[in-house]
Amino acid sequence: MIEFVNVVKKYDHDVCAMDNVSLRIEKGEFAFLVGPSGSGKSTFLKLMIKEEEPTSGKILIDGKDITRIKKKDIPFLRRKIGFVFQDFRLLYDRTVAENIIFALRVIEAPEKDIKTQLKSVLQMVGLVGKENYYPNQLSGGEQQRVALARALATKPPILIADEPTGNLDPKTAEEIFKTLIEINSRGTTILVVTHAKDIVNELNKRVIALDHGKVVKDDVRGVY
């Protein structure tokens, strides 16, 4: 599903953010990407959605080398990858439902699918009944659920979460992870960048550790 082959990413002044990284994440897998600040986690995610170009190497998403796709095809690559941010990135002047519908409009989803898809993702993240609330009327955990629902609305086969619980208390964080695992059980490949050591250790999933742009650890049932 996701494959990095000898990927090197150098920024100006020869800063090496990705140093010959090769790894493969299978379809339906759940993996954590961990490491200290500046280890290359963000670069890894940016390379996946083609926000950055590798200096050398190949990146395959769904079997397709994305380093070779044209600029105009980038939106279609991104539709395969749902993205959840640490700070939720919601539209605060729109309701929960409108935030989710926004994503469906962006991918130009057919009108008839919008309502059913909205209902389905609200159920998936446990926000039924909150569709007409504005994000500010919700707790942090609920806001992150809205962000999750928005990322899932377009039915991407891959979900990336960049520090999804970084702004949340431990109990809420745990609930968010439970939801992620449930989403994963329905077939979505999930890659989570996190510092939540306890949760990583508790969940017993694959852990990929990066440091100075190198994969320093990759355990199928790993710990932080």
Partner 1 sequence: MSTNTYLIKEGYDNLNKHGSKTISTMLIICATMLILGIFIIILQNVNKNVETLRLEQGLQAFIEDKATDEDIAYMEDELKLIDGVSEIQYMNKAEAYEDAREQFKDQEYFLEGLENLDIFPASFIVKFTNIEEADRIKEEVEKIDGIYNVKYNADTIDAVISISKVANYFLLGVGLVLLVVSVFIISNTIKLAVYSNKREIFIMRYIGATNSFIIKPFIVEGAIMGIVSALISFIIISIVYVYIYGALNSSYALGIFKFIPYSTIWYQILLAYIILGLFIGIFGSAVSLKKYLKV
Binding site for partner 1 (CB under 8 A): 49, 72, 75-79, 83, 89, 91, 102-103, 105-108, 111, 150, 154
Closer residue to partner 1 in complex, CB, 145/206 = 145
Three-class DSSP labels, 146-198: HHHHHHHHCCCCEEEEECCCCCCCHHHHHHHHHHHHHHHHCCCEEEEECCCHH
Between CA 97 and CA 146 the distance in angstroms is 9
Nearest approach, Cβ of 33 to partner 1 (angstroms)?
18
Query: Cβ closer to partner 1: 99 or 194?
Result: 99
Q: Measured from the CB atom, is 12 or 111 closer to partner 1?
A: 111
Half-sphere CA count of 168, side-chain side, radius 13 A: 27
CB of 32 to partner 1, least distance (A): 21
Rg (CA), the chain: 17
Q: How far is the CB of 45 from partner 1 (least distance, A)?
A: 11
- Cβ proximity to partner 1: between 41 and 206 the closer is 41
Q: Minimum distance between the CB of residue 146 and partner 1, rounded to whole angstroms? A: 12
Outline where the chain has alpha helix (H).
41-48, 74-78, 96-106, 111-125, 140-153, 170-185, 197-203
Nearer residue to partner 1 within complex by CB, 63 or 110: 110
Q: For residue 177, list its beta bridge partners.
A: none
Smallest gap from Cβ 76 to partner 1, in A, equals: 7
